[in-house]
Amino acid sequence: MAQLQAHIDWNAKTITFSGPGTFNAKEQIKALGTARWRGDLKSWVVNVPDISVPQLKAAFPQLEIVESGETEQNEVIQAVPSGVPSGVGVAQFIAQVRAAIASAFPQPVFVRGVISKVKSPRHTYIELSDSEDSSVHINCFIWSDDLSRITAEVSKAGFSLEPDLDVMFEVEVGLNPRRGDISLTIRRVVVEYTIGKLAAERDKTNEKLKKEGLFEKNRQLSLPFLPTRLGLITSSAGTVINDFRSSLDQSKFGFQLFWLPAAVQGAAAKKELIQAIRTLGARSDLDAVLIFRGGGSRAELAVFNDYDVAKAVCLCPLPVLSAIGHQEDLSSVQDVSFKACGVPKDLGRFFADIVSELRRRFTDSIEIITAQSESLLREESRSLAHNAAFILSQAQNLLQQRMLRLQSLAHSVPIVATSVAQDSRHLLERTGRRILDRGEGAIERAMLRIQRFSTLPRLAESVYQRADERVNGLSALIEAVSPESQLRRGFSIVRKVDGSGFIVSASQANTGEQVEIEFYDARKRARIE
């Protein structure tokens, strides 16, 4: 350790530390009591009302001490009975322990564990628990001088220091001179360790689910032909649901949404997510379950790599669709879901596209039916016209043949010509009438068939018109019940000013509380009387 100098002013009860070793010893100096940095003197000034020179020597073995003022260090030797050890004072004992710790840990060490508590009144205090036994823990702290640097390094790595996070710290080991307990001063967070643990948790969960045969279970389910009844699981505090609704509403279709709010980060997230998945999965009136949350740090998204949460998705009897974090974020919940999307608005667009595709297919089907009906009608018309012409031609040929035969008989048998001619003529006329009657009947039946086929275009147009009227009716109904329409009719929405939620009953409004009232054209604030 570089040479360190201390000037003790017994009158002011202060110690001024200076010299080339001041920087390396600043944490030990600040641990003595209330300390302030004198930039003009490049010295630390510490208010120490009760400390002795031996204590300073024990804490700083290489210290050079200069004293001024009237000393109060005259030792008072009390009579000690014979055979009783004289012992050492608490302050001297702590100084000796600190010296022993400094000797045992001259260099920073690396300590790993799980963060159990974080407090930041001025400096940041962290309770670090053992990874295997949470009842074993030690106190760590980050001085305010180092806080911005360490926070920037952690944020750049994509996470923040919060409970339940696996971490590794590079620390300096010391002893608190006031309480006498060991404390660790954090110099650096080993971000590579935490990133590796977060990534390994996803792989560990996926591998375990594959061994149990559950990994593909939810992905093997199927969605209904038109899934419109959707159960939503997301936070009640965020605005990410608005992104989902904005893309879903582009379909202009009457979706039924059942929102079950749940925490998506923090200590309560795991329990609430599992309960929400099981609750919605047990409902027979839903077509699918949607889980989504907006962007967050890797630590904030860690709950979606939890084995129990992912297993709940696998066992859900309804298809689960998920969108977790940013576009590039991956999690076990997304891996085992029926379908995973990049961001929540992609989920809304997925269901809106289903409606758009069905509308397109319905329109195409109407056009195909109309075209095929018109083609069939043309073919039948041509066939009937051809048959009618053929029948008329055959009747004319037969009539002509019979006339020629009668003329021949009339010439060859003059005696009976008149009688035979008359009989033949009557027979020919009856035959001709029968032939003509059959031809006319065939033509009438053909015309009836043509008339029936001619109604097909009108029928197809009627079907299309009714479908269009239903779509328009549903669109009008959605518009009628939308929040904007209700506001224009004179209704209003009352919210808490702090953004904690809506006020829907008088019991939620406290006297004197400020609220925000939304009208169709503006928002105003008011006070409850």
Reduce the secondary structure of 42-91 to three states and give it as a string. Answer: CEEEEECCCCCHHHHHHHCCCEEEEEECCCCCCCCCCCCCCCCCCCCCHH
pLDDT of residue 357 exceeding 50 = yes
Domain assignment present for 27: yes
**43-47 β-sheet, strand order:** 34-38, 43-47, 14-18, 4-9, 63-68
| Helix ranges, 112-239 (H) | 144-156, 191-211
State the virtual CA torsion across 205, 208, 210, 213 in degrees, nearest 10.
-120
Q: Which of 189, 220, 240 lies at the terminal end of a domain, its last residue?
A: 189
pLDDT of residue 76 exceeding 50 = no
Please, is 53 exposed, middle or buried when counting C-beta atoms within 10 Å of its C-beta (0-12, 13-18, 19+)? middle
d(CA 488, CA 126): 53
H/E stretch holding 35: strand 34-38
- Both 333 and 315 in a single domain? yes
Q: Provide the β-strand partners of residue 67.
A: 8
- Both 370 and 469 in a single domain? yes
Domain assignment present for 83: no
Instruction: Identify the pLDDT of residue 72.
Output: 47
134-156 burial, b for 16+ CB within 10 Å, e for fewer? eeebbebbbbeebbeebeeebee
CA-nearest of 396, 389, 388 to 441 is: 388
What does the pLDDT average to over 450-464?
Answer: 67
Query: What are the tens digits of pLDDT across the range 272-293?
Result: 999 999 999 999 999 999 998 8
Domain assignment present for 197: no
Question: φ and ψ at 265, to 5 degrees?
Answer: -160, 165
Q: Provide the β-strand partners of residue 169.
A: 111, 189
The helix/strand count (H/E) of the chain reads as 13, 18
d(CA 365, CA 39): 84
Query: What are the tens digits of pLDDT across the range 148-181?
Result: 888 888 887 767 788 878 889 998 888 776 677 7
Query: What are the tens digits of pLDDT across the range 98-129?
Result: 777 777 887 889 999 988 888 887 788 899 99
Tokens of 133: 């036994």
Query: What are the tens digits of pLDDT across the range 238-262?
Result: 677 888 888 888 888 888 899 998 8
d(CA 55, CA 60): 9
What does the pLDDT average to over 347-370?
Answer: 86
Domain assignment present for 84: no
For residues 265 and 325, is the Cβ–Cβ distance under 8 A? Answer: no
- Both 246 and 279 in a single domain? yes
- Both 142 and 246 in a single domain? no
CA 120 from chain center: how many Å? 29
Most confident segment among 19-33, 356-370, 431-445, 492-506: 356-370
Instruction: Identify the pLDDT of residue 12.
Output: 76
Query: What are the tens digits of pLDDT across the range 23-68?
Result: 777 777 777 777 787 776 778 888 876 677 777 777 777 777 877 7
Domain assignment present for 391: yes
Domain assignment present for 454: yes
pLDDT of residue 199 exceeding 50 = yes
pLDDT of residue 77 exceeding 90 = no
- Worst-scoring range by mean pLDDT, 198-212, 331-345, 480-494? 480-494
Instruction: Please provide the average confidence, as pLDDT, over all residues in the chain.
Output: 80
- Worst-scoring range by mean pLDDT, 205-219, 313-327, 360-374? 360-374
State the virtual CA torsion across 447, 450, 452, 458 in degrees, nearest 10.
-140
Instruction: Identify the pLDDT of residue 301.
Output: 81
- Both 185 and 214 in a single domain? no
- Both 399 and 431 in a single domain? yes
Which band of pLDDT confidence, cut at 50, 70 and 90, is reported for residue 495? confident
What are the C-alpha distances in Å from 190 to residues 48, 120, 157, 193, 340?
Answer: 36, 20, 10, 6, 32
- Both 398 and 509 in a single domain? no
Residue 520: domain span: 483-527
Domain assignment present for 314: yes
Q: Which of 342, 372, 388 lies at the terminal end of a domain, its last residue?
A: 342
For residues 215 and 70, is the Cβ–Cβ distance under 8 A? Answer: no
- Both 262 and 290 in a single domain? yes
Tokens of 302: 């860690």
- Both 379 and 425 in a single domain? yes
d(CA 203, CA 206): 5
Domain assignment present for 298: yes
Count of structural domains within the chain = 5
Cα–Cα–Cα angle for 92, 95, 101, nearest 5°? 145
Beta strands in 346-473 (DSSP E): none
What does the pLDDT average to over 469-492?
Answer: 74
pLDDT of residue 135 exceeding 70 = yes
Cβ neighbours, 10 Å, residue 526: 12
Pairing between strand 124-129 and 229-233?
A: unpaired
- Both 117 and 157 in a single domain? yes
What does the pLDDT average to over 202-222?
Answer: 92
| Helix ranges, 413-455 (H) | 417-454
- Both 293 and 360 in a single domain? no
d(CA 114, CA 128): 6
Instruction: Identify the pLDDT of residue 399.
Output: 85
d(CA 278, CA 272): 10
Q: Provide the β-strand partners of residue 493.
A: 518
Q: Which of 80, 104, 128 lies at the terminal end of a domain, its last residue?
A: 104
For residues 341 and 347, is the Cβ–Cβ distance under 8 A? Answer: yes
Q: What is the CATH number of the domain that holds 278?
A: 3.40.50
Which band of pLDDT confidence, cut at 50, 70 and 90, is reported for residue 348? confident
Instruction: Identify the pLDDT of residue 78.
Output: 47
- Both 215 and 333 in a single domain? yes
Cα–Cα–Cα angle for 516, 522, 528, nearest 5°? 25
- Worst-scoring range by mean pLDDT, 193-207, 404-418, 458-472? 404-418
DSSP 490: T
97 or 398: which carries more pLDDT confidence? 398
Instruction: Identify the pLDDT of residue 73.
Output: 44
Query: What are the tens digits of pLDDT across the range 378-432?
Result: 888 888 888 888 888 888 888 888 888 877 776 765 655 466 557 767 776 777 6
Most confident segment among 179-193, 204-218, 346-360, 510-524: 204-218
